[in-house]
Amino acid sequence: MDVRRLQAFAKVYDLRSFSRAGEDLLLSQPTISAHILALEEELDTQLFDRLGRTVLPTQAGEVLYRYCTTIFSQLDHARADILALSKRVAGELAVGGSTIPAQYIIPKLVAGFLAAYPEVRIDLKGGDTREITAMIVAGDAHLGIVGAPAAQPELVSRPILEDSLVLVAPKDMGAVSLDGGDWRARLVRLPWVMRESGSGTRLALERALAQADIDIRDLRAVLQVHSSLAVLECVEAGLGVSVVSHMAARAYLDRGTVSLLAAPELDMRRSFYAVHHGRRYMFPALRFFLAACCEL
């Protein structure tokens, strides 16, 4: 069987779409269709049911996909072993980064790594912590740098860098004190700009609130956004208060467009983690990149 045809088949299976598979593999839809048709003719069976816009694998398609995952894994192992034998750190490395690492940590890390290992090609993928760890489980990323340890038991999370979250408020909000006996009541009355569920920042805030006997659902959330930059822009616009990494807030605080709100009762320290699959082969580029992460 032609490996390219199997790759096209597996991508259609994953995405349930011929057109999206073509976009992902940088091939035309007719080429994808031709690959699938050639496989079906070779195997003398139908691999997908085409129900209008819906594409579903047949029983034969399910069987072939199970073999494809093994074949692709063996091919990756073969490439990695050959590179290891030649003592070259080279090849493709897919690195995922949640919001803060992708903006403030990974670029400098990658620059230093590529200076040392110029034959490595890095594919940087973005998302929140939950999305990045899901990519690693699915095999779409080899390693991720995220703001919370992975929940999946098959993943290994190594703390690599400390971070502190800060509570930021609109510049014109006025003095709000969050110390004293009734600070919890004042905190929950504030309008909040929230990060989405699954982000490392949101998880750190939930943990800090829980330690102070506050349920995050008690906060008066007025808006939910999906990046630290969006949070800061909303706070700057006067929509409410929020919690962000000090790395992200620094430029806004220096410009004076948002203000820092002291919350001494909340412990909002956290770590960033390098996450990788514990049972997958550590090929040289991945092994050396992980070592670079641990030296931060």
| pLDDT higher than threshold 80 for residue 175 | no
| pLDDT higher than threshold 80 for residue 163 | yes
Do 3-84 and 89-161+272-294 have matching folds? no
How much is the pLDDT for 250? 94
DSSP 122-154: EEEEE--HHHHHHHHHHTS-SEEEESS--SSTT
Per the CATH hierarchy, to which homologous superfamily does domain 89-161+272-294 belong?
A: Periplasmic binding protein-like II (3.40.190.10)
Task: Report percent pLDDT > 70 for the chain.
Answer: 97
Residue boundaries of the structural domains of the chain: 3-84, 89-161+272-294, 163-269
The span from the CA of 75 to the CA of 4, in Å, is 12
As a whole number, the mean pLDDT across the chain is: 93
> What confidence tier does 6 reach under pLDDT thresholds 50, 70, 90?
very high
Q: What tens digit of pLDDT does each residue of 181-232 get?
A: 788 888 999 999 999 998 989 999 999 999 999 999 999 999 999 999 999 9
Widest pairwise Cα distance in the chain: 76
Q: What tens digit of pLDDT does each residue of 46-92 get?
A: 999 998 888 999 999 999 999 999 999 999 999 888 877 666 888 89
pTM of the model: 0.66
- Report the top-level CATH class of 3-84: mainly alpha
Strand partners, 259: 169
Which comes out higher in pLDDT, residue 3 or 81? 3
CATH topology for 163-269? D-Maltodextrin-Binding Protein; domain 2 (3.40.190)
- Classify residue 19 as exposed, middle or buried by CB count within 10 Å of its CB (0-12, 13-18, 19+): middle
The span from the CA of 258 to the CA of 232, in Å, is 8
| pLDDT higher than threshold 80 for residue 103 | yes
Residue 192, both tokens:
């909040």
